[in-house]
Amino acid sequence: MNDISPLPAGNDAGPVLNVSRRGFLGTSLSALVLAVAVPLAPRRAMAAAAASPAAVTPGTRVQAFLEIRPDSTVLFHSAFVEGGQGIFTAMAQIVGEELDIDPARFTVEVAPPGADYLLIGGMRFTGGSMSVRMSYQAMRTLGASARQMLLQVAAERLQVPVADLKTEPGQVIHPASGRVIPYGELATAAAALPLPEKVALRSREDFRWIGKPVARLDVLDKSTGKVRYAIDQVVEDMLYAAVQHSPRLGGEPGALANEAEVKAMPGVHSVHRLPGAVAVVADSWWRARRAVETLQVSWNEPAAGTPQAMPATFSSEAHRTRLKQAPGPDLAFEEQGNVTKGLKQAKKIVEAVYDAPHLAHGQMEPPSSLARWNADGTVELWLPNQAPEMFQGAAAKVAGVPPEKVIIHSPMLGGFFGRHFLYASASPFPQAILLAKAVGRPVKVLWSREEEFLRDAVRPMGVARFRAGLDAHGRPVALHGVAVGEGPAGRWFGRKPDKVDSTAVEGIAGKVYDIPHRRVGHIHVDDPAVIGFWRSVGHSMNDFFYECFFDEMADAGKHDPYELRRELLKNSPRHRTLLEAVAELAGGWRRGPYTADDGSQRARGVAMASPFGSEVATMAEVSLKDGVVVVHTVWVAIDPGSIVNPAVIEAQVRSAVALGLSATLLEQVVYVDGMPQARNYDLYPILPPDRMPEVKVRIVESGAPMGGIGEPGLPGVPPAVVNALAALTGHRVRSLPLSKAVLGKA
């Protein structure tokens, strides 16, 4: 059951008839779906097409993505999942731009599993700030291809050359005669045409919607309660299940002391043992939860060799010490010059060790999964996920059926942050499959908040060691940075002993400061916890480590940290421009301490980050009130190269600032005796509204290759805040969160 590793792309299965959405599939999964009237393709043919993904070039088949309806509105099947990041709107803008239909006329839904949607290097997942930048060209070409097909049909109908026609939003126009044909009247015939071999894309200066703050497509339905998340799904004859997990991962249920008593509780249908858990199935989730929490379970310790079993002796404090004391040498990831020689020749040596804790995802939507076994042998699942094909393959293994027998529904996510990736033991879908089979009815499993905190895949704990050499003028000439710990990519995609997992060092590696001798290395130490991807992944802590140490180098060399950054970016004009842009946005650089208009003593900090193909400069202004850090303003200048929707970018930066600040000030998962101490928000505080600062954003569109948006706004926040705090107090904090530091009055 725990063997739920992602399947290779070649094993991805395609769409299967969804009983509950038959009417939708009758039009949108047909062989040609530009028109609503095309009949349903045989399921056998669909399965055959899905079984041979080599015959499909992902992102090219108009029929797999677009349905133009008779009223000239569009149903678009997105390869990516909407979870608040605005991807549905971005897809409508990109495709609508080339198709020449207003994005407001789009309805967007997540596409079912299938080879057409493997747009991320032969895989499909929504994450890593890759959705738009990895599909931008393909989706533009897709829209342009569909427009060309419509023009061809119109030309045949009007008996004129295609060159004599043009389009306006949603219609083809013949300017010479004034004749107009709506797209909806052309779609059926256009669907029968082969894809054009080559299409022209719009010039940037002709864009109607790309680059504009188009209104979000999902806001109205969210605001009016029409969106149905996984937690809201209901099917006929459904039962509910609640679970109680082993307190430590790897434990198995033993004796149930009061099973008969629990079975007799109101609404209880049955009691079940599951791998690592017990479950109660009932006619309502509240009754199931009350019953499972009443159940008295004796938990057996893991058998020897149990994969990912949590040791009873594991603690956060001991693991942090282990990371700090882990012996070298480090495995090099990035080298320039000769760092050993540079350090020997330096006039002054600066050293520091930083650390950051495990972090929970803390999403508002609790994990849930609904499973139904259908009479035709298919298994139907409604579950929050970032990778439909991966979950389809994993569910097939649990169910013991071929992947094409698993129907995956991917509802809108109630939060993202890397929580809905495919982690062993961190999702309830295997439990839902097993319970639905056991009771012979659909079952929805919903984890309580306490079970979610117990089984979340946390951000790994990390440590970084730095040693730098300064020349006679106090400028850094050599820097050796070593990350210690484990990266999530290596955990879930495989790690080679002679290769460094980039997610363990990103944010320490990849810096563009002009330091002649530098080396970034890694010492791998297994993290006993189930670790996962967290918003901005390794950058979330590594930029904190590096950018704070940069300020330490500046202080040791008696340089202003902002000016030293400007100097060391003289050969990187894109980054220097961005640094100057954030200073201008903030009304100029002021390190402090200085007295604000309200009489408080304040200071500012600055940081740079280069996450996910984008460049970011961040400034923060802080003060202290009764020993508690107050963040007044955060300024962010972001250069994603080129943009699709500036309003979405600004919203994403603001949300990233909030999450980054929450992690800086408050968040940490603390393990004692192999168990997380926080099982709800009472012991895992997140940033409250009254501590959210003003956030000001400037978008600098340099024209560089398109970068990501969802995650880049976060990494600069922790170092900017901590650097400001150091300037304010004269005390350098090297361990997060700040809530555990003893801070005096400024």
- Tell me the per-residue pLDDT of 547-586, one tens digit each, with 9 for 90 and over: 999 999 999 999 999 999 999 999 999 999 999 999 999 9
> Of 6-15, 194-203, 268-277, 688-697, which gets the smallest average pLDDT?
6-15
Structure confidence at residue 680 as a pLDDT band (50, 70, 90)? very high
Examine the domain organization and report whether 249 and 206 are in the same domain: no
Same domain, 421 and 486: no
Classify residue 5: in a domain, yes or no: no
Q: Write the CB contacts of 215 (distance below 8 Å, at least 6 apart in sequence).
A: 89, 104, 647
Three-class DSSP labels, 468-508: EEECCCCCEEEEEEEEEECCHHHHHHCCCCCCCCHHHHECC
* pLDDT over 50 (residue 48): no
Burial of 90 (0-12, 13-18, 19+ CB in 10 A): buried
Same-domain check for residues 162 and 294: no
Q: Decide if 277 is inside a domain.
A: yes
Is 381 in the same domain as 350? Answer: no
Q: What's the pTM?
A: 0.90
Q: What 3-state class would DSSP assign to 393? A: helix
* Integer-rounded Cα radius of gyration of the chain: 28
Contact 621, 632 (CB under 8 A): yes
Do 203 and 252 belong to one domain?
Answer: no
Over residues 55-111, the pLDDT tens digits come to: 789 999 999 999 999 999 999 999 999 998 999 999 999 999 999 999 999 999 999
Residue 433 lies in a domain: yes
In the prediction, which pLDDT does 385 show?
A: 94
How confident is residue 675, by pLDDT bands cut at 50, 70 and 90? Answer: very high
Last residue of a domain, one of 394, 425, 446: 446
Whether 576 and 569 have beta carbons less than 8 Å apart is answered as yes
For residue 204, pLDDT beyond 60: yes
653-676 as b/e, with b when 16 or more CB fall inside 10 Å?
bbbbbbbbbbbbbbbbbbbeebbb
pLDDT tens readout for residues 366-388: 999 999 999 999 999 999 999 99
Longest CA–CA separation in the chain, Å: 85
Query: 293: helix, coil or strand?
Result: helix
For residues 403 and 51, the answer to whether their CB atoms sit within 8 Å is no
Q: Is the dihedral of CA 624, 626, 627, 631 positive or negative?
A: negative
Q: Is residue 47 part of a domain?
A: no
Q: Is residue 3 part of a domain?
A: no
Q: Which of 144, 147, 197 is closest to 172 using CA atoms?
A: 147
Higher pLDDT, 129 or 593: 593
Instruction: Identify the pLDDT of residue 625.
Output: 94
State the Cα–Cα distance between residues 291 and 169, nearest whole angstrom. Answer: 57
Predicted confidence band at 745 (pLDDT cuts at 50, 70, 90)? low
What pLDDT is recorded for position 11?
Answer: 31
Three-class SS state of 318: helix
Distance CA 29, CA 495 (A): 38
311: in domain: no
Which 8-state DSSP code applies to residue 711? Answer: T
What mean pLDDT do residues 612-632 have? 96
Residues 219 and 284 reside in one and the same domain: no
Q: How many domains does the chain have?
A: 3
476 and 406: one domain? no
- Mean pLDDT lowest for which of 25-29, 68-72, 249-253, 396-400? 25-29
CATH code at 180?
3.30.365.10
Give me the residues paired with residue 253 across strands.
299
- Residue 130 maps to a domain: yes
Residues 248 and 219 in one domain: no
Asked which of 395, 420, 446 is the last residue of a domain, the reply is 446
Q: What is the pLDDT of residue 54?
A: 55
What pLDDT is stored for residue 308 in this prediction?
86
Q: 476 and 541: one domain?
A: yes
pLDDT of 114-168, one tens digit each?
999 999 989 999 888 899 999 999 999 999 999 999 999 999 999 999 999 999 9
Asked if 187 contacts 171 with a C-beta cutoff of 8 angstroms, the reply is no
- Tell me: do 547 and 399 sit in the same domain: no
* Same-domain pairing of 90 and 236: no
pLDDT band at 3, cuts 50/70/90?
very low
Strand partners, 379: 373, 406
Residue pair 295/270 in contact by the 8 Å Cβ criterion:
no
Tell me the residue range of the domain where 133 lies. 62-223
Q: Give the C-alpha distances (Å, rounded to integers) separating 535 from 360, 421, 488.
A: 11, 12, 12
Which of these three, 161, 191, 223, is where a domain ends?
223
The predicted structure's pLDDT at residue 307: 85
Residues 159 and 291 in one domain: no
Position 598 pLDDT exceeds 80: yes
38-47, 82-91, 129-138, 670-679: range with lowest mean pLDDT:
38-47
Q: What would the mean pLDDT of 290-314 be, rounded to a whole number?
A: 93
Specify the range with the lowest mean pLDDT, choosing from 21-35, 271-285, 366-380, 381-395: 21-35
